[in-house]
């Protein structure tokens, strides 16, 4: 229970202290908060696995009046992944932001924003109240926008504003949905809403919330804000933005469609959502294929990967819900989200270190880095394996589950989209990989320390381990799920 | 112990790989000791296992990854055949590679991926479920890439890209096939053949085709063969690995698994997909030989020869008659032994005489008698000249073709033999009968290069000479076929 | 693991030459390599004299080796090993010459193969042995490395490989038909199935090439003269018999009978006549070999008793032809006109035997075969003696023109070798006569037998007088090959498969343009502002 | 027309006006204002929804107050960004929409 509170409160207090305390002590406070939150996340996961789901009605107010926080398998999986990515980003941020010439704003703003982002993410993962979720993702967006704009460059500012417009529009759509739900049912707690009488406005509410969250998740065709924003932010920020932020709104979508209003989902609507997902996979991959900056390639890859996450809807929802393959598809999607988070963060951190060495992230500038910084190159390669979905990685396990479900459901189109997406991913990730592997003499450049290089490697390794040791995470995911994953199909 | 042995065998290459990656370039002795030690230990463990299996022991280890995703390691006779082939050839290749690289740069990376490659191959051999097969198959694809690109120049990167641009689409196709099939049968284990009666025949045919595309690419079937000649820019030990120890062998092994353990002979016959596969293999045999004729580089000629020869294995598997199965399985070993000899020799010619083109071979026979004798043995064996191993496979495949009522196989074998002769004999002629250019500097004072070559050539000779004995590849293949595939 | 069962002598007879051959590869042994050659066939000769004593098997070797001798095998084995032993002695002057070591090594290999062909009971051993004979004799042919030898070797290897392949395929079909590797069972199993006809045709091609069967003989007149003299002797005397024996072993009685008879007779007459256009005495002898082999093939085709006596015929021809080839060498080595005359006389005697002059070994051989023939073929056989006589007389005249060039070694020793062979060619047919034909030796002394042998020789003598007066145009060897045009190695050019990838660069630039265009459209807020409510409505419409 | 209905209609109208402004305006400050209008409209609507059952419901009020705080902070950040962007680029519009009327 205390861990449940700590994952929310520790980063918030850390953020406030980092703002309030001057210079060095602010930094120390931030680090204390980071370590505490990481520990709390692990503790929370341990307690959920060993003792079941903790539930906290804030101030002892039970719903429908009060707000409930609850950690199920999905929550703790996301929270632990978040904690890992955040810690890794923070570890590299120390190096990448230190002694920068871009002025004190970055050094000052990064730590509070990052901790705020973390708190908002944890809040979204734990909340069981639709309005509370609104507050959470709004806070998340604000922190994320701040991180994008942190360097103060004109392009970054424009990207931040663009991001802000999409995010605010999404928030308002979501809010409109929340208002409709409350108007119809007089309650916003998920636990209460599950047992509601369906109302006429539910469809509209779900439509509004879905489109709003799609816009925040950067699903095609609302993805255009993402590449400039993620490509323009400093690398540790990009890692967090790409790996974590879209997952928050995606988790809300999952909860809406599968927990709150599964009765509303029609096959046509589910197919429509998945169609957008498929379009995102194809378009994002093609766009990544033609980029000439590594960070943009990685960012467009996020667009494509987000598309995968939406393919699960027709496989696990609607008419498929009670079918044997639904659990596999759902698990696969969450696994995809997790492994993508780890791998994408590792990729951005690796690219960030390359940029730091070469001063640019143009594809042509990447020659020789594999020899000079083998660990980051290896990290990039391992992440690529996960992103492409090759074994043995979390990405592969996820893909296998989703594809099996797709074939079992007779909806093999989604499986083919996944297969094509994997191939395209291989194509666009091969370009930086081959460039990095090319021989060139970089002995004149100052290289980051081995400890620094090890950070992305550890994250990428985690994504691989997720594929090899996947049975543990699987059982965890089943906690709190109505339909659990039986022995596959 | 019984459960641990397969894992130990895998670890003998994984552990050296993991350590080697982090070694500094200068720690030659440690690295060599690790790799040689790993290779020796693997051979030792396999010998232990051979005796245990002969005594009736069976090995099975499973690691559940996720619901429906089971990593199953087990030993059957086929796995044992493949794993002992790859382990013993790996030992030879390791000795050769250590001598080949000497003090060249980037050795830690090379030997790391080299061991990883063999780890994957061993995994493929020991896989007891379709999905574990796929996982190791992909690992093999990935760990081969840095080896092909090892020289890090434009040419080798191009070759490496070509390799991946074949491998990844095909593995995607393979994944689709696996997923499609498993979505209706559940996880497929090689221990008990899956019940395919629930899947309609048309789908099954499509799935079979997808499987063949997926695994056949590694076996370099036409038209998925383009990567193999391109990959010739890699260092000689890598070529040996690609052509004899690991990659194409994994492809051929995969086809055998698909035909016999996933679909089963009867089902393949019922679906009528065996003959098209045999025809495809035949086209590959002929096409590879024709293209080999046109090559002017030794290694390229050998590469096309591999394309042609590996399809013998596929042909045997596809015909599925008793003799054909035995011939195909035996050729798995025979081709490995002969081809590794040839590539070792090509490497020695390159290293010690600077010769890559066919013209350069002129007169090298007397300058480098050991190497050239081995080369001649390998080449003659490839042609199918008795008593070197190749002729045994040919006889068995021919009879197998007749047993399967496919007499046309004979014409394929005949044409291929003639073509093999047409592209190999001129090389031998040049070696022994042409005058060397006066300024050629050639010697073979590199025992660590020559010794593995001689060992491989001798093995190829003995495999044919003692074909009828029980411990020969042929004897083994017969055992496998009788035990597992022919009731 | 069993090394062998049964008598060891056959195994020794086979492995001993191989062992000697391997020894020649040792640097220390190189100088003595040629000296070992006469020793190589001795165990086999011993075995032939002793006769077979049961089946020897080596179950682990190849596909299971089984060896044995019956009468025909024993006869041919004996002839072959004797010829090889004598030829080995004749090769002694080569010691110390360039490439002699290599020559010796492959000499032993061919010898082992040649012996193996006659001893093998199973098809795999037979094939291995045959391949060794066939392909390793390339090295005997190419030994000189002169332009001519290289050309002959090139032609030879192509045709020999074709033969090997035909043989392999035929044997595979046979083994499948018989469900066995045993040669005897394969012969029995060849029934009427169309595939078996194909198999027999393939075998006829495979063996016919080796046996110089028209029209597969074209390599022979090139190759036999190209080899050094001892090489030519074994090629023409012993090695061609491997092909003949193959026909005997595998062809069911009467299969392809007519075809074989026609082809055989064509060879018997055609080659003999064509030989008259040759200047080189060795080429003349080669054509004579084709002619004689044609007769034997005809006898095989005739089947029945004639077929049974073919080994007997072969025995004489092998020894005699070996002697004739060696005599060419002797003539080259002759240093005085006395020696030259002696050589010529010896050659004339042997020639007479080959032409079937009464009471010679050749006459016995022919008589033996004739026993089993019909009238027409008997006549053909007698007429062929005319042709043989003619070509051998032509040979003698060419032999006389041979210039002495190679004056090393002890001439007396050299001349004794063909003499010994000639003696054997005379004596052995007499010794074996009753066993093989069932007639008393006195049969040959009958008047009509004598007449039978005499008249063709007489006609031949008369005709040769004409021939020597008005000579035929001199042509290079290779008859049909000339008609086909000179064989030249040509590099084939095949189209490569069309590349799987289209122009990547262009595709990439097009894709880049399109992508930028579309992203530029999507990024405008006006698009999203309109798209969002529309999408909400769409989702709403299809929900519930 | 009862009070709650009037409130609801007002809310809807505010959302509509805000939406129009959001689409038609290029000036970023106008867009921020439009967002605020939409937000306010939604809150008014929520207040009306709270009055649905006749008895007063405290929850919407708590929600509205929270929402206003969130909207305020969002607006503050937005205006800060717009100002920074205008300073850096000299224009109050996004680069891709510069040329449009």
Contacting chains of B (3 CB pairs or more, <8 Å) are A, C
Angstrom distance (rounded) from CA C516 to CA D50: 48
- Among A315-324, A364-373, B26-35, C343-352, which stretch is predicted with the lowest mean pLDDT? A315-324
Whether C342 shows a pLDDT value over 60: the answer reads yes
At A105, the pLDDT band (50, 70, 90 cuts) reads: low
Distance from CA of B461 to the nearest CA of A (A): 39
Exposed, middle or buried, C189 (CB in 10 Å: 0-12/13-18/19+)?
buried
CB spacing of B183 vs A404 below 8 angstroms: yes
C533: nearest CA in chain D? D19
Angstrom distance (rounded) from CA C126 to CA C118: 8
Those residues with Cβ within 8 angstroms of residue B388's Cβ, 6 or more apart along the chain or in another chain: B338, B377, B380, B381, B460, B461, B464
Angstrom distance (rounded) from CA A392 to CA A463: 9
Top residue of D9, D38, D80 to mutate, by most chain A CBs within 10 Å, is D38
Angstrom distance (rounded) from CA B31 to CA B24: 9
Tens of pLDDT, residue by residue over C147-183, are 888 888 888 888 999 999 999 999 999 888 888 888 8
CB spacing of B168 vs A412 below 8 angstroms: no
CB spacing of C544 vs A210 below 8 angstroms: no
pLDDT for B462 equals 92
Angstrom distance (rounded) from CA A205 to CA A184: 10
Judged by a CB distance cut-off of 8 A, whether residue B486 touches chain C is no
Mean pLDDT computed over A271-295: 93
Whether D62 shows a pLDDT value over 80: the answer reads yes
Question: How many Cα atoms are found within 13 Å in the side-chain-facing hemisphere of C403?
Answer: 2
Distance from CA of B410 to the nearest CA of C (A): 6
Query: How would you label B430-454 residue by residue, b for 16+ Cβ within 10 Å and e otherwise?
Result: bbbbeebeeeeebebebeebbbbbb
B203: nearest CA in chain A? A407
Angstrom distance (rounded) from CA D58 to CA B104: 78
pLDDT for A213 equals 95
Q: For residues A199 and D41, which has the higher predicted lDDT (pLDDT)?
A: D41
Coil, strand or helix: which one is A127?
strand
At A131, the pLDDT band (50, 70, 90 cuts) reads: very high
Report how many Cβ contacts below 8 Å link chain A to chain B.
109
pLDDT for A288 equals 92
Distance from CA of A273 to the nearest CA of C (A): 9
CB spacing of D23 vs C529 below 8 angstroms: yes
Q: Nearest CB to C492: which of B294, B402, B425?
A: B294
Query: How would you label B3-40 residue by residue, b for 16+ Cβ within 10 Å and e otherwise?
Result: eebbeebbbbbbbbbebbbebeeeeeeebbebbeebbe
DSSP 8-state class, residue B103: T
CB spacing of A401 vs B66 below 8 angstroms: yes
Question: How many Cα atoms are found within 13 Å in the side-chain-facing hemisphere of A471?
Answer: 13
C145: nearest CA in chain B? B433
Distance from CA of A240 to the nearest CA of C (A): 23
Tens of pLDDT, residue by residue over B198-234, are 888 899 999 999 999 999 999 999 888 888 888 888 8
Tens of pLDDT, residue by residue over C53-88, are 788 888 888 888 888 888 888 888 999 999 999 998
Judged by a CB distance cut-off of 8 A, whether residue D94 touches chain A is yes
Average confidence score pLDDT of chain A:
88
CB spacing of A412 vs B180 below 8 angstroms: yes
Tens of pLDDT, residue by residue over C81-108, are 999 999 988 888 887 777 888 888 899 9
pTM > 0.80: yes or no = yes
- Among A68-82, A200-214, B435-449, C125-139, which stretch is predicted with the lowest mean pLDDT? B435-449
Mean pLDDT computed over B125-148: 91
pLDDT for A346 equals 95
Judged by a CB distance cut-off of 8 A, whether residue C403 touches chain B is no
Average confidence score pLDDT of chain C:
84
Mean pLDDT computed over B372-381: 94
Whether A46 shows a pLDDT value over 60: the answer reads yes
Residues B128 and B74 sit within 8 Å (Cβ to Cβ): yes
ipTM: 0.86
Report how many Cβ contacts below 8 Å link chain A to chain D.
82
pLDDT for D97 equals 75
Element at B62 (helix H, strand E): strand B60-66
At A488, the pLDDT band (50, 70, 90 cuts) reads: very low
Distance from CA of B392 to the nearest CA of C (A): 8
Q: Nearest CB to D39: which of A64, A172, A182?
A: A172
Q: Nearest CB to A487: which of B68, B146, B161?
A: B68
Percent of chain A with pLDDT over 90: 52
Q: Say if domain D3-95 classifies as CATH 1.10.287.3510.
A: yes
Angstrom distance (rounded) from CA B404 to CA B281: 15
B 403-462 residues with CB below 8 A of C? 403, 407, 410-411, 413-414, 417-418, 421, 425, 433
At C29, the pLDDT band (50, 70, 90 cuts) reads: confident
pLDDT for A486 equals 43
How many whole angstroms from its chain centre is CA B6? 20
Please state, as a whole number, how many other Cβ atoms lie within 10 Å of the Cβ of residue B52: 16
Longest dimension (CA), chain D: 53
In chain C, where the domains are located? 254-477
Q: Nearest CB to C522: which of A215, A224, A289?
A: A224
Q: For residues B51 and B460, which has the higher predicted lDDT (pLDDT)?
A: B460
DSSP 8-state class, residue B482: I
C491: nearest CA in chain B? B294
Whether C485 shows a pLDDT value over 60: the answer reads no
In chain D, where the domains are located? 3-95
Sign of torsion over alpha carbons B454, B455, B460, B466: positive
pLDDT for C189 equals 84
- Among residues D68, B354, C112, the alpha carbon closest in space to that of A175 is found at D68
At D33, the pLDDT band (50, 70, 90 cuts) reads: very high
Q: Nearest CB to A157: which of D31, D52, D85?
A: D85
Top residue of D16, D32, D96, D101 to mutate, by most chain C CBs within 10 Å, is D96
CB spacing of D94 vs C533 below 8 angstroms: no
CB spacing of D77 vs A145 below 8 angstroms: yes
Tens of pLDDT, residue by residue over C205-241, are 999 999 888 888 888 888 888 888 888 888 888 889 9
Contacting chains of A (3 CB pairs or more, <8 Å) are B, C, D
CB spacing of C128 vs B391 below 8 angstroms: yes
Q: Nearest CB to B67: which of A374, A390, A488?
A: A488
- Among A95-99, A481-485, C436-440, C512-516, which stretch is predicted with the lowest mean pLDDT? A481-485
pLDDT for C112 equals 92
Angstrom distance (rounded) from CA A476 to CA A49: 6
Residues B248 and B218 sit within 8 Å (Cβ to Cβ): yes
CB spacing of D100 vs C526 below 8 angstroms: yes
CB spacing of D70 vs A138 below 8 angstroms: yes
pLDDT for D101 equals 43
Angstrom distance (rounded) from CA C137 to CA C111: 9
Whether D10 shows a pLDDT value over 80: the answer reads yes
Residues of B in contact with C171 (CB under 8 A): 395
Tens of pLDDT, residue by residue over C394-430, are 888 888 888 777 666 778 888 888 888 888 888 888 8
Residues of A in contact with D84 (CB under 8 A): 149, 152, 157
């Amino acid at each position: 229970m205390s861990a449940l509170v700590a994952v929310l409160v520790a980063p918030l207090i850390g953020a406030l202290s980092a703002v309030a305390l001057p210079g060095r002590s602010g930094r120390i406070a931030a680090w204390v908060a980071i370590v505490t939150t990481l520990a709390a996340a692990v503790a929370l996961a341990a307690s959920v696995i060993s003792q079941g789901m903790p539930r906290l009605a804030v101030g002892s107010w039970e719903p429908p009046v009060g707000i409930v926080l609850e950690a199920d398998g999905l929550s703790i999986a996301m929270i632990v992944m978040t904690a890992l990515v955040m810690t890794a980003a923070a570890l590299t941020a120390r190096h990448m932001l230190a002694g920068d010439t871009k002025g004190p704003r970055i050094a000052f703003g990064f730590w509070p924003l990052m901790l705020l982002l973390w708190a908002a993410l944890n809040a979204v993962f734990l909340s069981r109240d639709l309005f509370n979720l609104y507050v959470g993702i709004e806070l998340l967006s604000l922190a994320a926008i701040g991180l994008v704009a942190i360097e103060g460059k004109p392009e970054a500012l424009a990207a931040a504003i663009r991001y802000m417009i999409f995010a605010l529009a999404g928030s308002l759509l979501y809010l409109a949905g929340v208002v409709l739900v409350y108007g119809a049912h007089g309650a916003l707690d998920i636990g209460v809403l599950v047992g509601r009488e369906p109302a006429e406005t539910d469809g509209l509410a779900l439509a509004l919330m879905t489109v709003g969250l799609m816009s925040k998740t950067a699903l095609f065709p609302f993805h255009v804000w993402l590449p400039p924003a993620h490509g323009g932010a400093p690398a540790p920020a990009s890692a967090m933005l790409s790996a974590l932020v879209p997952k928050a709104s995606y988790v809300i979508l999952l909860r809406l469609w599968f927990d709150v209003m599964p009765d509303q989902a029609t096959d046509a609507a589910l197919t429509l959502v998945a169609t957008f997902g498929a379009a995102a996979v194809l378009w994002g991959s093609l766009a990544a294929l033609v980029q000439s900056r590594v960070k943009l390639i990685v960012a467009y890859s996020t667009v494509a990967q987000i598309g995968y996450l939406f393919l699960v809807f027709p496989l696990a929802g609607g008419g498929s819900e009670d079918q044997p393959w639904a659990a596999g598809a759902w698990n696969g999607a969450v696994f995809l989200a997790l492994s993508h988070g780890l791998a994408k963060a590792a990729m951005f951190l690796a690219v960030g270190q390359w940029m730091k060495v070469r001063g640019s992230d143009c594809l042509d500038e990447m020659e020789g880095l594999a020899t000079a910084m083998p660990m980051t190159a290896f990290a990039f390669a391992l992440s690529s394996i996960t992103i492409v979905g090759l074994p043995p990685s979390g990405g592969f396990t996820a893909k296998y589950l989703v594809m099996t479900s797709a074939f079992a459901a007779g909806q093999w189109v989604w499986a083919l989209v996944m297969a094509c997406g994997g191939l395209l991913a291989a194509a666009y990730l091969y370009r930086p990989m081959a460039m990095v592997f090319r021989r060139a003499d970089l002995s004149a450049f100052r290289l980051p320390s081995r400890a620094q290089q090890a950070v992305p490697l550890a994250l990428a390794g985690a994504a691989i381990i997720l594929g090899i040791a996947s049975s543990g995470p699987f059982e965890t995911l089943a906690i709190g799920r109505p339909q659990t994953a039986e022995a596959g199909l | 112990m019984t459960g641990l042995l397969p894992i130990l065998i895998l670890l003998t290459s994984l552990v050296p790989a993991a350590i080697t990656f982090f070694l500094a370039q200068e720690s030659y002795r440690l690295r060599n000791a690790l790799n040689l030690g790993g290779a020796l230990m693997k051979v030792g463990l396999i010998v232990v296992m051979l005796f245990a299996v002969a005594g009736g022991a069976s090995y099975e280890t499973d690691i559940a990854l996720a619901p429906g995703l089971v990593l199953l390691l087990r030993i059957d006779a086929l796995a044992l055949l493949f794993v002992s082939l790859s382990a013993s050839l790996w030992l030879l290749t390791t000795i050769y590679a250590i001598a080949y690289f000497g003090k060249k740069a980037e050795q830690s990376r090379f030997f790391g991926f080299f061991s990883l490659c063999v780890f994957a191959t061993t995994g493929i051999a020991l896989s007891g479920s379709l999905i574990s097969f796929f996982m190791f198959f992909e690992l093999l694809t990935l760990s081969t890439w840095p080896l092909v690109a090892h020289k890090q120049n434009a040419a080798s990167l191009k070759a490496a890209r070509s390799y991946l641009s074949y491998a990844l689409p095909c593995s995607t196709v393979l994944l689709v096939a696996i997923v499609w099939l498993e979505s209706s049968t559940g996880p497929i284990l090689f221990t008990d053949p899956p019940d395919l009666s629930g899947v309609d025949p048309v789908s099954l045919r499509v799935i079979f085709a997808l499987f063949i595309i997926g695994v056949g690419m590694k076996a370099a079937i036409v038209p998925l063969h383009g990567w193999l000649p391109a990959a010739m820019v890699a260092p000689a030990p890598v070529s040996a690995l690609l052509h004899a120890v690991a990659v194409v062998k994994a492809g051929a092994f995969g086809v055998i698994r698909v035909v016999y353990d996933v679909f089963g002979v009867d089902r393949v016959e019922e679906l009528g997909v065996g003959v098209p596969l045999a025809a495809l293999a035949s086209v590959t045999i002929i096409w590879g030989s024709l293209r080999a004729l046109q090559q002017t580089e030794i290694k390229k000629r050998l590469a096309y020869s591999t394309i042609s020869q590996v399809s013998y294995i596929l042909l045997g598997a596809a015909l599925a008659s008793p003799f054909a199965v035995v011939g195909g399985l035996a050729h798995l070993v025979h081709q490995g032994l002969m081809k590794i000899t040839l590539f070792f020799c090509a490497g020695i010619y390159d290293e010690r005489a600077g010769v890559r083109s066919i013209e350069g071979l002129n007169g090298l026979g007397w300058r480098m008698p050991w190497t050239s004798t081995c080369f001649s043995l390998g080449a003659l064996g490839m042609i199918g000249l008795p008593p070197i191993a190749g002729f045994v496979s040919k006889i068995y495949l021919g009879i197998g073709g007749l047993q399967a009522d496919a007499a046309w196989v004979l014409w394929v074998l005949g044409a291929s033999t003639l073509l093999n002769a047409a592209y190999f004999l001129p090389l031998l002629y040049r070696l022994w009968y042409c005058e060397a250019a006066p300024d050629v500097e050639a010697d073979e004072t590199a025992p660590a290069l020559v010794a593995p070559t001689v060992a491989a050539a001798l093995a190829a000779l003995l495999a044919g000479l003692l074909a009828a004995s029980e411990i020969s590849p042929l004897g083994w293949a017969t055992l496998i076929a009788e035990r597992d595939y022919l009731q | 693991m069993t090394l062998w069962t049964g008598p060891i002598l056959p195994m020794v007879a086979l492995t001993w030459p191989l062992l000697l051959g391997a020894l020649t590869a040792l640097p220390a042994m190189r100088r003595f390599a040629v000296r070992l050659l006469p020793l190589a066939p001795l165990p086999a000769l011993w075995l032939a004299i002793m006769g077979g004593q049961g089946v020897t098997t080596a179950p682990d070797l190849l596909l299971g080796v089984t060896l044995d001798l019956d009468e025909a095998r024993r006869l041919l084995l004996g002839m072959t090993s004797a010829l090889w032993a004598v030829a080995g002695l004749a090769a002694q002057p080569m010691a110390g010459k360039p490439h002699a070591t290599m020559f010796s090594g492959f000499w032993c290999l061919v010898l082992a193969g040649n012996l193996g062909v006659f001893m093998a009971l199973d098809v795999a051993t037979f094939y291995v042995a045959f391949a060794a004979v066939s392909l390793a004799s390339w090295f005997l042919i190419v030994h000189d490395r002169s332009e001519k030898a290289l050309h002959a070797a090139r032609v030879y290897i192509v045709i020999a490989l074709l033969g090997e392949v035909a043989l392999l395929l035929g044997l595979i079909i046979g083994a499948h038909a018989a469900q066995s590797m045993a040669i005897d069972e394969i012969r029995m199993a060849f029934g009427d199935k169309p595939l078996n006809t194909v198999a027999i045709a393939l075998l006829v091609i495979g063996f016919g090439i080796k046996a110089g069967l028209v029209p597969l003989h074209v390599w022979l007149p090139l190759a036999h003269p190209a080899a050094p003299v001892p090489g030519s002797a074994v090629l023409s005397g012993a090695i061609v018999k491997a092909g003949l024996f193959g026909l005997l072993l595998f062809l069911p009685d009467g299969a392809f009978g007519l075809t074989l008879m026609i082809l055989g007779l064509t060879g018997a007459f055609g080659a003999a006549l064509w030989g008259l256009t040759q200047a080189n005495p060795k080429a003349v002898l080669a054509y004579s070999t084709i002619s004689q082999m044609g007769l034997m093939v005809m006898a095989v085709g005739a089947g029945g008793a004639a077929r049974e006596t073919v080994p007997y015929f072969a025995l004489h021809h092998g020894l005699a032809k070996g002697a004739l080839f060696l005599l060419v060498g002797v003539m080259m080595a002759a240093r005085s006109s006395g020696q030259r005359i002696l050589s010529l006389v010896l050659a004339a005697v042997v020639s007479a035997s080959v032409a079937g002059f009464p009471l010679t070994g050749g006459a016995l051989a022919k008589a033996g075969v004739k026993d089993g023939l019909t009238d027409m073929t008997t006549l053909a056989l007698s007429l062929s003696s005319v042709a043989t006589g003619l070509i051998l007389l032509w040979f003698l005249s060419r032999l006389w023109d041979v210039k002495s060039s190679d004056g090393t070694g002890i001439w007396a020793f050299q001349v004794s070798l063909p003499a010994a062979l000639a003696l054997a060619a005379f004596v052995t047919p007499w010794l074996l006569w009753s066993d093989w034909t069932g007639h008393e030796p006195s049969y040959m002394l009958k008047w009509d037998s004598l007449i039978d042998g005499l008249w063709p020789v007489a006609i031949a003598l008369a005709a040769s007088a004409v021939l020597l007066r008005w000579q035929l145009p001199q042509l290079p060897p290779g008859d049909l090959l000339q008609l086909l045009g000179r064989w030249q190695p040509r590099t084939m050019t095949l189209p490569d498969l069309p590349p799987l990838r289209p122009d990547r660069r262009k595709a990439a630039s097009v894709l880049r343009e399109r992508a930028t265009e579309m992203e530029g459209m999507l990024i405008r807020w006006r698009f999203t502002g309109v798209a969002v409510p529309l999408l909400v409505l769409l989702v709403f419409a299809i929900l519930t | 027309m009862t009070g709650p209905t009037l409130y609801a209609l007002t809310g809807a109208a505010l959302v509509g006006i805000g939406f129009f402004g959001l689409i038609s305006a290029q000036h970023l400050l106008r867009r921020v204002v439009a967002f605020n209008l939409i937000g306010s409209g939604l809150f008014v609507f929520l207040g009306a929804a709270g009055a649905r059952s006749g008895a007063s419901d405290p929850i919407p009020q708590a929600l509205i107050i929270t929402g206003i705080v969130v909207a305020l902070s969002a607006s503050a950040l937005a205006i800060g960004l717009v100002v920074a962007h205008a300073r850096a680029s000299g224009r109050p519009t996004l680069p891709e929409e510069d040329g449009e009327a």
